[in-house]
């Protein structure tokens, strides 16, 4: 689907005509990334991160395939083969540092992408399926990242695998059996490493498939935008090419510059030193932590310290950690306010920023050892995490009075420009419109 | 309905958490390890700067001498190949001579275990045949392989330097160091099995540098940073080129972005 004013593809050369009439790939590209795809013209830089996450996935797949040519998934030599890549393979150090740092950058891009969606209400109708597919991608990349970290077979790999698979043993009756089944033994060993390698190679391609569905689902209603209101006319949009190809290319340049700086100058800043010690089942590290991108969820896992309602604390932690992610799947039906963008929701906006601070606090707690004051802080922060999604947002969507919405994206853009104070000479024709009282009301959900 | 179920689930989670939060905590036992443990101070290395820092070849060679004459009595370095020593300034002939000093396990023509002289293509070998032999010789403590020590401890080379000079003759009164262990404020448990390894003038540097304990500790720490990250200089050099290229590319991308959007931005203010 597209807007009625979308340009139609017309093959220019005889060759393109020939291709287009037999396999319309040129048409597909034109309609999805080219001039045939109208996009709201007011997207800000936060809207770059979808493309950046896609690029991050491609970087991971390419570097990962090269690494797999030299890596040996065997518990006896896995760690040695990683060091072989670092020391003896030409450019191997670059591939490995790009892959390890790339995982962190993939998560940075995806987390910004998710928070952007939360702030501007991109999960609301008609984009629920788009949101759900995004969450599937998020789950897949968490699984992939975890298994990839184990492949190094350092101390933190081994003990991280022990702790995470140990979570399943908290399930009543079947827990131990499931853990043994997942590991292929009673503790992480060669069977575990081999299956993790197999799945670590498979899941990125599954992710890529879901990304295609995600982009497809995006192209049905088109992008949301910072005002959250629907596109009304051609004046609200610009063609994706050249406008957003140019903007995405610039954003990509900034992203790659920062990425390269970390890869080449601080390659180990985001990792744990313990993982440069080969795995040793007989020696437990003093402080087992997952990678930074799991810290908020790790904090929730550890926040449950007492048995409650006859359910053991450990099981509470496991249920809550999974629930913390799964509840996001229900978000479109929990936050039913018809106004999408938090720019026009004064109370939800406050709740959003409290939630943002809350996640940062949870992340800090998750990276610390389980001692006071971090345990109590993580308990309070977890309370807000659940309350925000399950209690506060549903209530807010009922009682909040949103600010008046602009009539159209064009009007909102004009208003912002006059407020910022463009040079007076340029303001003349637009000034009158900006001063008109805003008559827009909250938009009913479609 | 969805909202009611959600609110109920949310309330249960919050109640479980708050119940945990109001529980009294066990009295905190003062942790002596935390009290006396000290983080490594920056020792000031030539490669400290993450962008332009380089190894000091002369220092690496001195550090290699310290490793060879002191550390290698107990510690292996078995991820490092002799051939890579040319990277720290040894000539091919010198590398050949160094390798030759090592006996590498081998098989003779009859298939019987024997040893042969090391070649530049071999890795460092020994001092022990395996971990059990190492433990047997060291009061059941295992001297770790040093190839990656520069990256596997918080603080890196600064840690190695600090640990080597961090021994204290007498531990504080409320701390006991068992016989056979040594008190060291930079070791994670404060009691380390390694005796103070360095004494003044323990090695005689070829280049005439005075072999103080601090100097030897710093030199060997630098050498062990090189063994942990032999591609450090190549990495930073590549990085400078990559980042300069990307900054120029991003600048051009910005200009083209501004150019493309010029008409839209102008229209916005004029409509």
Domain identity same for B250 and B225: no
Name which of A85-99, A344-358, B30-44 the model is least confident about.
B30-44
**Residue B181 maps to a domain:** yes
**Residue B105 maps to a domain:** no
**Residue B25 maps to a domain:** no
Contact predicate B43/B222, CB 8 Å: no
pTM score: 0.91
- The pLDDT tens digits for B144-177 are 999 999 999 999 999 999 999 989 888 888 888 8
Domain identity same for B196 and B259: no
Active-site annotation holds for A291: yes
Question: Exposed (0-12), middle (13-18) or buried (19+): which is B169, by Cβ within 10 Å?
Answer: exposed
Does residue A87 sit at the B interface (CB-CB below 8 Å)?
Answer: yes
Domain identity same for B195 and B169: yes
The reply, when asked if residue A8 is annotated as ligand binding, is no
d(CA A349, CA A347): 5
- The pLDDT tens digits for A264-293 are 999 999 989 999 999 999 989 888 899 999
**Residue B12 maps to a domain:** no
Does residue B39 sit at the A interface (CB-CB below 8 Å)?
Answer: no
Q: What angle do CA B6, B12, B17 make, to 5 degrees?
A: 125
Q: Which helix (H) or strand (E) holds A334?
A: helix A331-334
Judging contacts by C-beta atoms under 8 Å, the chain B residues touching residue A286 are 188
Q: Do A383 and B17 touch (CB under 8 A)?
A: yes
Cα dist from A92 to A84, A88, A298, A315, B231, whole Å: 8, 7, 32, 42, 10
The closest of A286, A291, A294, A274 to A155, measured between CA atoms, is A274
Domain identity same for B221 and B250: no
- The pLDDT tens digits for B61-100 are 999 999 999 999 999 999 999 999 999 999 999 999 999 9
Does residue A434 sit at the B interface (CB-CB below 8 Å)?
Answer: no
Cα dist from B259 to A6, A39, A240, B222, whole Å: 23, 18, 15, 50
**Within chain A, what is the greatest distance between any pair of CA atoms?**
76
Of A238, A305, A390, the CB nearest to B264: A238
Give residue A419's pLDDT.
65
Q: Mapped to the 3 state alphabet, what secondary structure does A387-402 carry?
A: HHHHHHHHHHHHHCCC
Does residue A249 sit at the B interface (CB-CB below 8 Å)?
Answer: yes
The reply, when asked if residue A99 is annotated as ligand binding, is yes
Q: Give the total number of structural domains in chain B.
A: 2
Domain identity same for B166 and B224: yes
d(CA A279, CA A385): 35
- The pLDDT tens digits for A163-212 are 999 888 888 889 899 999 999 999 899 999 999 999 999 999 999 999 99
Identify the band that residue B25 occupies on the pLDDT scale cut at 50, 70 and 90.
Answer: confident
| pLDDT tops 90 at residue A388 | yes
Cβ contacts of B269 within 8 Å, gap of 6 or more: A414, A417, A422, A426, A427, A430
The number of beta carbons lying within 10 Å of the beta carbon of residue A206 is 15
Of A256, A330, A387, the CB nearest to B246: A256
The closest of A70, A213, A93, A403 to B239, measured between CA atoms, is A93
Give the ipTM: 0.92
Averaged confidence pLDDT in chain B: 91
Name beta bridge partners: A154.
A278
Of B19, B50, B261, the CB nearest to A243: B261
- Domain coordinates in residue numbering, chain A: 32-282, 289-404
DSSP state of B130: S
Q: Rounded to the nearest 5°, which phi and psi values hold at A348?
A: -65, -30
Residue-range definition of the domain harbouring residue B203: 31-80+142-230
Domain identity same for B195 and B266: no
Tell me which CATH code domain A289-404 carries: 1.10.287
Contact predicate B76/B126, CB 8 Å: yes
The yes/no answer on whether domain A32-282 falls in CATH 1.20.810.10 is yes
Q: How much of chain A, in percent, has pLDDT values that exceed 70?
A: 93
d(CA A83, CA A73): 13
d(CA A224, CA A207): 23
**Residue B109 maps to a domain:** no
Instruction: Choose between A416 and A395: higher pLDDT.
Output: A395
**Residue B108 maps to a domain:** no
Mean pLDDT of A152-161: 94
């Amino acid at each position: 689907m597209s807007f009625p004013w979308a340009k139609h593809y017309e093959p220019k050369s005889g060759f393109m005509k020939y291709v287009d009439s037999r396999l319309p790939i040129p048409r597909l590209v034109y309609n999805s990334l080219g001039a045939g795809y109208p996009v709201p013209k007011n997207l800000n830089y936060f809207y770059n991160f979808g493309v950046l996450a896609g690029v991050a996935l491609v970087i991971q797949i390419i570097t990962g395939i090269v690494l797999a040519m030299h890596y040996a998934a065997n518990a006896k030599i896995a760690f040695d083969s990683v060091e072989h890549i670092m020391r003896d393979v030409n450019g191997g150090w670059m591939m490995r540092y790009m892959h390890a740092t790339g995982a962190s950058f993939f998560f940075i891009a995806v987390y910004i992408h998710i928070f952007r969606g939360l702030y501007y209400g991109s999960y609301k109708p008609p984009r629920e399926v788009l949101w759900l597919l995004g969450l599937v991608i998020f789950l897949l990349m968490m699984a992939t990242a975890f298994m990839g970290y184990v492949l190094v077979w350092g101390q933190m790999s081994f003990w991280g695998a022990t702790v995470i698979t140990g979570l399943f043993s908290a399930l009543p009756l079947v827990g131990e059996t499931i853990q043994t089944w997942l590991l292929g033994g009673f503790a992480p060993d060669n069977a575990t490493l081999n299956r993790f390698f197999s799945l670590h190679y498979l899941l990125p391609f599954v992710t890529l498939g879901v990304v295609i569905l995600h982009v497809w689902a995006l192209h049905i209603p088109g992008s949301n935008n910072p005002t959250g209101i629907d596109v009304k006319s051609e004046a609200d949009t610009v063609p994706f090419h050249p406008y957003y190809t140019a903007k995405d290319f610039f954003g990509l340049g900034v992203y790659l510059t920062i990425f390269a700086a970390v890869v080449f100058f601080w390659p180990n800043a985001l990792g744990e030193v313990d993982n440069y010690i080969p795995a040793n089942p007989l020696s437990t590290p003093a402080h087992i932590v997952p990678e930074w991108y799991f810290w908020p969820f790790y904090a929730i896992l550890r926040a449950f310290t007492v048995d409650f309602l006859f359910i053991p604390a450990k099981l509470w932690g496991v249920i809550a950690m999974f629930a913390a992610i799964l509840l996001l799947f229900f978000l479109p039906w929990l936050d039913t306010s018809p106004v999408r963008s938090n720019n026009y929701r004064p109370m939800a906006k406050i709740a959003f920023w409290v939630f943002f601070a809350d996640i940062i606090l949870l992340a800090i707690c998750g990276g610390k050892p389980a001692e006071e004051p971090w345990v109590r802080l993580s308990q309070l922060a977890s309370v807000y995490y659940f309350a925000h999604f399950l209690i506060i947002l549903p209530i807010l969507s009922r009682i909040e009075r949103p600010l008046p919405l602009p009539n159209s994206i064009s009007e909102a853009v004009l208003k912002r420009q006059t407020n910022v104070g463009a040079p007076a000479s340029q303001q003349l024709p637009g000034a009158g419109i900006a001063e008109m009282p805003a008559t827009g009301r909250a938009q009913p959900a479609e | 309905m969805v909202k009611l179920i959600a609110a109920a689930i949310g309330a249960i989670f919050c109640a479980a958490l708050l119940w945990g939060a109001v529980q009294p905590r066990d009295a905190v036992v003062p942790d002596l390890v935390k009290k006396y443990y000290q983080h490594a101070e920056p020792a000031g290395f030539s490669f400290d700067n993450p962008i332009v820092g380089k190894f000091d070849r002369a220092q690496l060679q001195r550090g290699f001498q310290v490793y060879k004459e002191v550390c290698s009595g107990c510690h292996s370095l078995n991820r490092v190949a002799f051939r890579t020593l040319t990277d720290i300034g040894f000539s091919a002939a010198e590398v050949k001579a160094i390798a030759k000093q090592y006996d590498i396990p081998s098989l003779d023509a009859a298939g019987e275990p024997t040893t042969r002289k090391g070649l530049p293509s071999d890795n460092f070998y020994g001092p022990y045949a395996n971990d059990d032999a190492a433990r047997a010789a060291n009061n059941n403590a295992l001297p770790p392989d040093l190839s990656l020590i520069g990256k596997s401890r918080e603080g890196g080379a600064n840690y190695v330097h600090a640990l080597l000079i961090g021994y204290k003759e007498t531990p504080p009164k409320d701390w006991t160091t068992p016989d056979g262990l040594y008190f060291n404020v930079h070791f994670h448990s404060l009691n380390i099995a390694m005796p103070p390894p360095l004494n003044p003038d323990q090695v005689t540097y070829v280049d005439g540098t005075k072999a103080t304990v601090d100097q030897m500790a710093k030199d060997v720490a630098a050498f062990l940073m090189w063994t942990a990250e032999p591609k450090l200089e190549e990495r930073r050099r590549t990085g400078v080129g990559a980042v300069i290229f990307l900054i120029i590319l991003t600048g051009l991308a910005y200009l083209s972005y501004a150019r493309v959007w010029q008409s839209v931005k102008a229209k916005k203010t004029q409509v």
